[in-house]
Structures are given as structure tokens and as C-alpha cells.
Amino acid sequence: MTAQAAETDRAAFAEEWQQWHEEKEKVLAGPHGFLAITGLHWLDATPARFPDAPGAWSSTADGVVVELSDGEELTLDGQVLRGRHDFGVIGERVSLFPAAGDAVVEVAKRGGYDILRPRHPENALRLAFTGTPAYAPDPRWARAGRYVPFDVPRPTTVGAAVEGLQHVYDAPGQVEFELDGTTHRLTAFNGHAPGSLLVLLTDATSGVTTYAANRALSIDPPDAEGNVLVDFNRASNLPCAYTDLATCPLPPAENRLPVAIEAGEKIPTAPVQGTRSVPAEGAAGHDQT
């Protein structure tokens, strides 16, 4: 390859990364993205009202319930909700987004708890956001890797940004890659797209130039031989890097790399240290296992 061709490839690599980064920032800072969240409310059997959402909310054996007073309403999938509405039992890591005026009220389950997270476009954190710093994209950090599936998926329990909360994922296998002559292996979870993988990790830059608790890396589905591309340039912050109103999972112990991965997103310049509340013991919906 000529020097000119190599430079062209590097420029194309950087341009593709920039497009990816801009799209991620757009979602994060969208009108109802994570930067718009104004509260993290843990629901239990006692109906409760919150200053950033209409209605009185509770978590029952039959799922999440809201009681809307006269003049209050929500809209979900084109249906206007008034009075009492049963959302039913919500699955783990599932979210519903009924609208309340220009806001939405996320109704979800995280770590076995039913939660409410209103999202308001005028939230100060969203309006003040100026972007996430990152290392300059470098093809060196796009490593050829191999996916090694487990015989059967392994249930894997990890901690969370909220102290005392746990998340359980099925890990289908590991991703291995080589860096400076050493082979590293990372436990992988299922990604959003069919066949894709998600890796949560920390490394020697964590807490120095990158967010201390975790970063996430999405990996495209392996090919027929198990080959994957592990592109650390796309190691990205989870929402807990920006707001304390998030319940992000932490990496499994084996995903704490001893090397410095000087690629991907860095510590946000102005994270807001809000109040990350902890659910009460025995709250409705808590999975005691």
C-alpha cells in the first residue's frame, strides 16, 4: 500500500468514526434522551406522586399502576390514558414511554425493581451539554478478534451504578483479542441487534482519562469462523457517566483489563452529580434472588 493510499484509508476510518460519534451524541442529547432525565423514582405498593410526572404511581403484584386525577392524562401508542391505567408486569430491561405534554415518563424495570424516569427536554443537564471528549480515532485500536461461545449461556451477575442493585445477563461466550503479544479475553453479553455482542469493560485509563466505572463496546455478529472486529475506538460511556439518575451495569470482574486502552470516549467534561437514590428494602417488584 502506498503512503497516499494509507493516508486515504486513515482519513476514511476517521470520518466513519466521526459519523458514529455524532449519531451517538445526538441520541444521548435528544429531547427525550438520557440527559433529559429529571428523576429516578423507585415504585412500591404505596401510590406516590412525583414533581416531574402526572399521576400517583405504584408497583403491584400485577404490575405498574398509575392513577391520574381530573385534568391529568398520558398518551401511549396513540391512546390517551385517563383515570386508572394498568401497565401490567414490565420485563427486566424493558421500558415504556407514555407522553405527558412535551415530556415522556419512562416506566421500566431495572434490577427487579419497577422505576419511573421522567424525561423533560428543558432539563438543565441536556441544555448545558456540549459534547463528549474522545481520543482521536486510530486504526491500531481496531483489533481483529475471535468469538468463543460457551457450550450454554452463563447467567452472569454484575453490580450497578446504584449501590446494592444487581443486573443478571446471559453471557453467550467470550471475545478474545491480542494486544502487544498478549491475548486478552472479555465476557460478552447479547447486543441489541440479533447476533451482535456487548462488552462492558474497564482498563488502566479508567478513572484517569476515561470514566471510572465502565465503558461499553458493541461488536457486530461474528462471521462463520467466529471472527469479530474489536474496535476500541467505539468504547463509549454509559449514561451513568453523565447523570446519577441511571442504573447502568458494571463490568464482570474478568473484564477489567490491566492495559491502557487509549481509545474511545473520555470522561465527560461536566457530569452532573445528582441524587442517585437507593430502593427501600423489600420494595414491591424486587427480585430477592
Looking at residue 286, what is its pLDDT?
33
Looking at residue 273, what is its pLDDT?
43
Average pLDDT, the chain: 92
The one-letter amino acid code at 2 reads: T
CA distance linking residue 285 with residue 88, whole number of Å: 12
Cβ partners under 8 Å of residue 202, min gap 6: 212, 213, 214, 215, 251, 255, 256, 257
- Considering the chain, what percentage of its residues have pLDDT values greater than 90? 89
Beta strand spans in the chain (E): 41-42, 48-50, 53-60, 63-67, 74-76, 79-81, 84-88, 95-96, 99-100, 103-110, 113-119, 142-159, 166-179, 182-190, 197-201, 215-219, 227-231
CA distance linking residue 39 with residue 53, whole number of Å: 9
Compute the chain's Rg from CA coordinates: 21
Model confidence at 269, pLDDT cuts 50, 70, 90, reads: confident
For 87-116, write each residue's pLDDT tens digit: 999 999 999 999 999 999 999 999 999 999
- Considering the chain, what percentage of its residues have pLDDT values greater than 70? 90
Hey, CA dihedral for 197, 202, 205, 211, is it positive or negative?
positive
> Average pLDDT for residues 164-186, to the nearest whole number?
96
Task: Note the pTM of the prediction, 2 decimals.
Answer: 0.89
Q: Is the pLDDT of residue 34 over 90?
A: yes
> Average pLDDT for residues 162-182, to the nearest whole number?
96
Q: Is the pLDDT of residue 287 over 50?
A: no
Looking at residue 8, what is its pLDDT?
61
Task: Give the residue carrying C-alpha cell 482498563.
Answer: 203
Hey, CA dihedral for 210, 229, 11, 192, is it positive or negative?
negative
For 181-237, write each residue's pLDDT tens digit: 999 999 999 999 999 999 999 999 999 999 999 999 999 999 999 999 999 999 999
CA distance linking residue 211 with residue 200, whole number of Å: 12
